[in-house]
Amino acid sequence: MNSKLNRAIYDYLLIIAGTTLMAFGVNCFFEPNSLVIGGVSGLAIIIADYAGRIGLNIPLWLTNLVLNAPLFLVAMKSMGKQFLIRTLVSTVYLSIALYYTQFFLLPISEDMVLSSVFGGVLAGIGSALVFKAAATTGGSDMLAYIIHKKVKHISLSKILFVVDGAIILLGLLAFGPEKTMYAIIAVFITAKVIDSILEGLSFAKAAFIISNHSQNIADALMNELERGVTGLNGQGMYTQTDKDVLMCVVSSKEMPKLKEIVHKYDESAFLIVADVREVLGEGFKQSEA
């Protein structure tokens, strides 16, 4: 029971931290520079701009609440209770964060490149934290989910791409091509940051070694690097001879030593090195990478 409660508290803290970072990204970088990266926040920036042209002041936090309300009403019957509650908390708190972060804004550079990069990083980190808590901030994610329920033969990612693409297109009509191009840069950075956090950075390397001296190399790797080595059965299709393929996962800083060991026992060994997103299991700690 305590573990479930602790996990729930942890998840809601992630939601609060994530939405706060997203709000700072919107208020500090996207809204001042008219960068529309999709989602309800992007649509809110467009609405605020058009409203300002006729003398009205429509704050982003209010638009976020108003646009998400009907989406929640439609999605209530099809979304899981826990996911719906967390998404509701995330959406409401994002509006709250959009409200109070506007009073803590520091002087930010008007440079569009810096705004695209740092805005994208903040939005990416914030979104990833919310996703880690098994929630979303509503908006285009929820709209895509609702549409997907009606047309299940179309993937959720494709629907989300179309929805966000339509909002970015509206930003193109409102603010012109130059700012839209910067917004696309921010979208790309946001997506990369989300992937890096959710999937893990490439802190480890997987080495595949094909050699006629595989036993010597394996012994040296286990003794000198203290890393586990797995032997795989392989066959050279040209020579039709059996080969041992060694697989060893090491941290990035240990890769030079691994290459030195392989070269020591077999200068003609065939070595393949690949990035590893995440390593779990006894004998390898992520903090060592």
Nearest alpha carbon to residue 118 among 24, 42, 194: 24
26-83: pLDDT as tens digits: 998 998 888 998 888 888 999 988 888 888 888 888 898 888 888 888 777 767 777 7
* CA 139 to the chain's CA centroid: 17
Q: Which residues pair with 235 in a beta bridge?
A: 242
Cα→Cα distances 137→106, 127, 129, 130, Å: 25, 8, 11, 8
Nearest alpha carbon to residue 249 among 213, 269, 225: 225
Cα→Cα distances 27→105, 107, 123, 243, Å: 8, 12, 11, 59
Residues of the chain with pLDDT under 50: 286-289
pLDDT of residue 288: 46
Start-to-end CA distance of the chain, whole Å, equals 34
What is the pTM assigned to this prediction?
0.72
Domains identified in the chain and CATH numbers: 2-199 (no CATH), 204-288 (3.30.70.120)
Contact 64, 91 (CB under 8 A): yes
